[in-house]
Amino acid sequence: MAEQPKLTRVHLVAGGFPRHSAAGHDIDYARLRLLNALQQQGETTTSISPDFQDLTEWLPKADALVTYVAGPFPDSDQCAEIDHWLQNGGRWLALHGTSGGKAIARSDGEPGREMLRLDHHDVLGCFFLNHPPIRSFQVDVHDPSHPITQGLDPAFEVMDELYLLEVLDPDNSEILLSTTGLPGDHPAARNFGFHYAEDTSIEPDGRTRPIAYLRRRGRGAVVYLALGHCHTPSTNIQPFVDASVDPNGVTPKLFRGSWETDSFDRLLRNGIHWLTATAHSEPHA
């Protein structure tokens, strides 16, 4: 009798802050796309939450964690639980706003806010500084043979939010995608969104910015992909966009960006396959 395939248990966190709000994103669209990708993969069963409040109920049962959030982040106790789960073989596919979190008033008393580095950034492996207005930029693939990037062209164009990310654990992180589309300390990033004192998102070469990476954590791993902004007319909060998107800076009412590209679809399918293919290779209880 043929051996039955193992069922991969996935917990999906997709939501905004405050709870059940859109927080400037089309969460429903992203959630549906991710659920479809999981269904297409095959032998999976998925639990869903809008944030991390009930993580303790679902994570111990899960082989894999997928997150697409705009605001919600795990607290210190939940971070410790995720870290323990990763160290024991868990797999986490983290998208877009997962690298964000909490913004606070500037410490120097000047107008604007800055992002606060929290425990979940250390577990995830990166810290979000800011992003310029939605723009078109080139994404470069570092290793086309990698399970996450296989099937991609060596470079591809997207319209998206270009996240400025500080990689916090470079010794255990493999950069999968990067861009050189925004010079260091560019006014487009300095004069929009959140304040940051130093641009720690740029690599030692002074021009490369990570867009995606795989981070090893004990017997487990995290794949983080910064791409994925989307909004509808009712959820949009983008005041304007770069001229590479619209010459007059007018924000598209409906924006799918990277989600509508073959490259991003490939990344999603590769990421889901990576979760299911490796989820049973190590214990994670």
Domain boundaries, given as residue ranges, for the chain: 8-278
Share of the chain above pLDDT 90, in %: 83
**3-state DSSP assignment of residue 120:** helix
Class of domain 8-278: alpha beta
Cα dihedral 214, 218, 219, 225 in deg (nearest 10): -20
The per-residue pLDDT for 185 is 64
Query: pTM for the full model?
Result: 0.94
Question: pLDDT grade, residue 78 (50/70/90)?
Answer: very high
Tokens at 23, concatenated: 């927080």
Question: pLDDT grade, residue 118 (50/70/90)?
Answer: very high
Average pLDDT of the residues of the chain: 93
User: What is the widest separation between alpha-carbon atoms in the chain?
Assistant: 70
Distances (CA, A) of 99 to 42, 191, 252: 28, 21, 24
Question: pLDDT grade, residue 285 (50/70/90)?
Answer: very low
**3-state DSSP assignment of residue 123:** helix
The per-residue pLDDT for 281 is 55
The secondary structure element, H or E, covering residue 167 is strand 164-167
Q: Where are the alpha helices (DSSP H) in the chain?
A: 27-41, 55-58, 76-87, 119-124, 187-190, 262-278
